[in-house]
Chains A and B, each alone.
Chain A
């Protein structure tokens, strides 16, 4: 499974909010710190396994726990039309 942002969606740093946002047509998503780390790895090249491996190397948590959270988040954004799995 290789997730990618849907057409028209971009991860941008919003100077006004001082935070990263996922900008889409007519809407935007406000990801928290950990969601930003996941979204920065969603490049259409990395697989979910690759994303989890990268995060597991940086965070003190079992890979299975990270995988579960990442899959849930990506599935949610996919259901909202922001990410294609």
Chain B
């Protein structure tokens, strides 16, 4: 599997 930088969005 290919890897990419993980992203986390904060959160209504």
Contacts and interface: CB of A to CB of B under 8 A. Distances in A.
Contacts of A65: 3
Interface residue SS majority, chain A: helix
Contact of B8 (A22, A37, A60, A61): A22
Contacts of B8: 22, 29-32, 35, 73, 76-77
Interface residues of A, number: 25
A29 B11 contact: yes
Q: Which of A22, A35, A72, A80 has the most CB of B within 10 A?
A: A35
Interface of A: 22, 27-32, 34-35, 37-38, 55, 58-61, 65-66, 69-70, 72-73, 76-77, 80
